[in-house]
Structure 1
Amino acid sequence: MARSDEVYETLRAQILSGERAAGSHVPEESLTETLGVSRTPVRAALQRLADEGLVVVRARRGAFVADFTRADVDEVFELRRLLESRAAQRAAAHRTDEQVAGLGRLVDEMAALPTHDRDALHRNNRDFHELVLEAAASPRQQRIVTSLARSSPTQGTFFDYDDEDIARSLDVHRLIARAIGEGRGELAGELMAAHIRMAHESFVRRRFAEQG
């Protein structure tokens, strides 16, 4: 993995987990020191994050973590719920045997991951949702949802989950994978909608607790 990719993945995980708070400064100099890299990979990583909408680069001031409001988060989750439930429903009709097997492997992998390894759980969850989108055989929808999810902190819900939430998410992933594999589109769509709704409620409860 290139150094700029390593810096990008590190910063992205910190933003999604809330370790770097919304509106906080992301100073280049301290990053070069703490990550042991030159400014070139840091700047490349910050540009990728800016392109995704996760940071804002301001002239003569540097990069700052994008400040998403409660309304922004609600809108992203609502759009994801509508689009990803449709994707799950389509996936049940268009999936390949290889994709069904892939979903099963990701479920098994999640079950084997320790609950404290939130980075790995986050990647597994992302891969599962992206494979459902791929199985839906709707490239336009796949591009829209992937861009939507990656350009907001809502994909970082696993960083906010407790062990009970993780167990529940695993159970729903298993049910979604089974419904898709059995060609039960309506059920797959309903399960995905409920799954996104649960993620939405958990994210808001923890990230916006102070707002009531």
Structure 2
Amino acid sequence: MHTKTSATDRAYRHTKDAILDRRYAGGDLISEGDIAAGVGVSRTPVREALLRLEAEGLVRLYPKRGALVVPVSQDEIDDVIETRRLVEGHTAQKAAAAEAGERGALAVRLNELLDRMRTEVDGDRQAFVLADRGFHREIVTAGGNAILVGLYDSLRDRQLRMMEEGVRTVARMCRNIDEHAAILAAVEAGDAPSAGRAVQVHLDGAAQLLGART
């Protein structure tokens, strides 16, 4: 059972990563056999992995043909941004309204991630992205709602394949840092309304980059 679960997880991770970084593009039809060969597993765990990806809305299964990678739609972009506004606006305000000790501990973690973002502006873009994502995730996690954390992770996964090459310029990265600093300052100050507004300003920029209508 352990081997089967491990094989399914490997097939799932391999296929999902390929979709998110667009090695499998929207509209591609991928076969169980191709995935099985790429991962080095049988077709059964691949089938189970594709069922998980279908439940996440990333593929659509066609019996005896394979799995169609669902193209990114305008509605999906709009939905992701709208849901991020709801989740992150709420959790930022909740974090800012927490006890001073909790806010202080959160601020330490956020400052570390913000420093990492500053370091990587002219360095490793992937490290910048991971620190950026980690910054937001720390705030969502501080809200103490595991369901919202899982939802946040799903939203950021979806957003990965929406980003066109070249949109993450140095100017945009520096703007992100400034916007993150504003969110952090509001959380540290215990100013819930300002924390919520700072998140919305930041997500306005994300919406613009992605071409969202929300």
TMscore range, shorter length: 0.7 to 0.9
1:153 and 2:158 equivalent? yes
Deviation at 1:180, TM superposition (A): 1.0
Deviation at 1:10, TM superposition (A): 4.5
Instruction: Identify the residue that residue 39 of structure 1 maps to in structure 2.
Output: 42
**Retained in 2: the 8 A contact 1:81–1:197?**
no
One-letter code of the match for 1:68?
Answer: V
Deviation at 1:91, TM superposition (A): 1.1
1-side partners of 2:135 and 2:48: how far apart? Answer: 27
CA deviations on 1:192-212 (whole Å, 9 max, x unpaired) are 11111211211128xxxxxxx
1:58 and 2:62 equivalent? yes
RMSD over equivalenced CA pairs, Å = 3.1
- Asked which structure has the greater CA Rg, the reply is 2
**Retained in 1: the 8 A contact 2:84–2:152?**
no
Q: Tell me: CA distance 1:190–1:111, structure 2 relative to 1, closer, same or farther (3 Å).
A: same
CA deviations on 1:157-210 (whole Å, 9 max, x unpaired) are 4964223222221222222122212212222111111111211211128xxxxx
Deviation at 1:52, TM superposition (A): 2.1
Identity across the alignment (%): 28
One-letter code of the match for 2:171?
Answer: E
4+ aligned runs moved over 6 Å, structure 1: none
One-letter code of the match for 1:185?
Answer: A
Instruction: Identify the residue that residue 184 of structure 1 maps to in structure 2.
Output: 191
1-side partners of 2:120 and 2:86: how far apart? Answer: 29
1:85 and 2:89 equivalent? yes
**Retained in 2: the 8 A contact 1:85–1:188?**
yes
1:172 and 2:179 equivalent? yes
**Retained in 2: the 8 A contact 1:91–1:137?**
no
Deviation at 1:84, TM superposition (A): 1.5
1:112 and 2:119 equivalent? yes
TM-score by length of structure 2 reads 0.75
**Retained in 1: the 8 A contact 2:116–2:128?**
no
One-letter code of the match for 2:41?
Answer: S
Q: Tell me: CA distance 1:83–1:31, structure 2 relative to 1, closer, same or farther (3 Å).
A: same
Q: Any stretches of 5+ residues in structure 1 without a counterpart? A: 206-212
**Retained in 1: the 8 A contact 2:11–2:36?**
no
Equivalent residue for 1:15, pick from 10, 13, 19: 19
Q: How many residues align?
A: 201
Q: Any stretches of 5+ residues in structure 2 without a counterpart? A: 1-5
One-letter code of the match for 2:57?
Answer: G
